[in-house]
Amino acid sequence: MPTGFAHLGVSYSDASSNLRTSTGDSRAWFSYRCPWCLDSVSGATLAFIPGENKVLTQRWLRCTSCGRGAVEFGGVVSPPALEGKSIGHLPEAIGLLYLEARKALGAGAPTGCELVCRTLLGHIAGHLGWDGTGQFAGAVQHIDSSGFITPPMRVWVDRIRQHGNEAAHEVAAVNPQRATDTLRFTAALLELVFELPGIEASQGG
C-alpha cells in the first residue's frame, strides 16, 4: 500500500440514514481489477452515494496497489481495464496498435479489437519483410514462411485474419469471447516474433 494512504483515517456519514462506514465495514472496500496497474485489488471506497438498504449505488475508488482512481457504478468500473496480456520488446507502432486492441476489448468494442488485430497482422508481416502482396492472406503466408511459426501454429495465426475479415464485412456484432480469442492469438504471435527474441537478445547470448 502506498505511503500517505488516507483511507484508514476516513469515515463517512450520510445525514439521511446515519450511515457510517469505516475500514472495518465491508462497503469500505470493493474488489475489482484496477484499470491502471491491472492488479486485482480490494480498492478503498473514498466516497460514495448511498442507496436503499445501505447499498452503495456509486463509489469512488482508490487502488490499494498503485493508488490511482476509478469509479464504480452498477458493478461496472470506469475507466475499463485493459484486456489481454502485456507484451515486451514491441516496435513502437506495433505496441501502440496492440494497446489499442486491448483497450477496445476492455471498453466493450470487440469488433474494433478484431479489426486492429487484423491490421497488426499486416504490420508484423511488414516487420518481417512482407512487400504487401496478397492482402492479409499474403501477410499470413509471409509470416508462415518467415520461420517464426510452425505448421500447426498457422491455423490460429490465420484465425486472426479470418476473424478480422468477418468483423470488417459481417453485419452481426462480434462475439466478445471470439474477440478475446483473437486477441490471445495476436498476443501469442507477438510473443514469438518480438518478445522472446527480445528477451534472448537482452541476455547478451
Instruction: Give whichever of 68 and 184 is closer to Zn ion, judged by the CB atom.
Output: 68
Could you write out the DSSP letters of every residue in 60-126?
EEE-TTT--EEEEETTEEESPPPPS----S--HHHHHHHHHHHHHHHTT-HHHHHHHHHHHHHHHHH
Instruction: Give whichever of 2 and 132 is closer to Zn ion, judged by the CB atom.
Output: 2
| 8 A C-beta contact, residue 34 and residue 41 | yes
| 8 A C-beta contact, residue 195 and residue 90 | yes
CB of 62 to Zn ion, least distance (A): 9
Interface residue list for Zn ion (CB under 5 A): 34, 36-37, 63, 65-66
CB of 68 to Zn ion, least distance (A): 5
Instruction: Give whichever of 67 and 138 is closer to Zn ion, judged by the CB atom.
Output: 67
Run of H or E residues at 58:
strand 56-62
Instruction: Give whichever of 34 and 44 is closer to Zn ion, judged by the CB atom.
Output: 34
Q: Which set of grid coordinates corresponds to residue 204?
A: 547478451
CB of 93 to Zn ion, least distance (A): 27
Short-list 41, 48, 10, CA closest to 27: 48
Angle at 71 between CA 35 and CA 73, to 5 degrees: 115
CB of 43 to Zn ion, least distance (A): 8
Single-letter residue type at 130:
W
Instruction: Give whichever of 46 and 196 is closer to Zn ion, judged by the CB atom.
Output: 46
CB of 42 to Zn ion, least distance (A): 11
